[in-house]
Structure 1
């Protein structure tokens, strides 16, 4: 089977479940046979242990016949660490080498990381970079489990990065609620500045919901910009796809990858 015409899978692990998109692309690079699934996990701490990850991914592959697929993994949550840094070089190799010595990579076990160039720093002399760090053993557990079912993990991405491609020119603090916690992302004109996972729902967000009687907004992404709460604007291309697929959150966040 030609690699470009394999079945493609996108997954995003969460506390109690795995959100999954399954699709194909035809000769014209258009998506076809798109399906959305939510795979429930019996153990709420399943993705904090490499052994449990192996078991759960094996179950997922068998349940949805995930074999000979190209897999994209979207990472978020408390294990994901993001760090923005300034370096004198804009070369990837130099930034990667500098990150190898950073304390967040070398503390508390082996980590897997990557760096992305943002642009020239405000001081006019350095360059801004963003580093993403995740426990090595957990990522390898995902990759090994999929590989055992004859799949290929070809992309590992982060939820904060994906959100910046789903929404248009984010500026402020974006809150994305789940059943167990909240992804908190800080952006400046579409560029990610910081990321944090919060167990539960932040008090200021709940206070705004209660004061404005907006309970229907509880599990919708909201942006706080200069003390004002707004619905973030979706990118035009993603809005068009959303109109076609009618996906709900968080599955809709996968649209930039299709």
Structure 2
């Protein structure tokens, strides 16, 4: 059998980067490509060049596989607008805030983003609590002479307008706060960033390693994560570490 050429394998490498749920342990070809990236410097340079040309940063790990994150200018970048385009109009302003709150809950200390061995487990309710604290903080600081952006205040007002969870509700509604958090977490599961672990406290979720890379990229090119981190500070127990 003819061995794959370098060009073919670069294409396969890019294709596997678009399958965020796959790992080398689960697929022989992906394992081969990751091994080649580590062992063949010319191949690694070719991969890095193609990804850089597409506006992508690539991280290759023997355990986690190929993790690509798009730079701000990349045409392959997935924006919050892309994620929210199917959401009801009233919810679109909230989805970005919920994603940031998930990041804040998973990484309450920014130094945790640099820890490759940390696997954080969190609940839907912990994200709701984070957003509630942010909304309350903004409400307390939104006086007429405040320098907080009006659009930002309006976004958090939309969160406050959502109803809390209905007691003993068997089905989660996107019309309440836990419901919209679950909706966002399911989107992140489908994208390969989270894993669903259970139903306690509205849902239990584990952050996958590629979520750490994505949050790192977010911190590099956005002030929003820093803003949420500051407003929701002082809640060091918002996230749990999975020691299993």
Q: TM-score, normalised by structure 2?
A: 0.24
Greater radius of gyration (CA): 2
Q: By percentage of residues, which structure has more helix?
A: 2
TM-score by length of 1: 0.23
Higher relative contact order (CA 8 A, sep 6+): 2
* Higher strand proportion (structure 1 or 2): 1
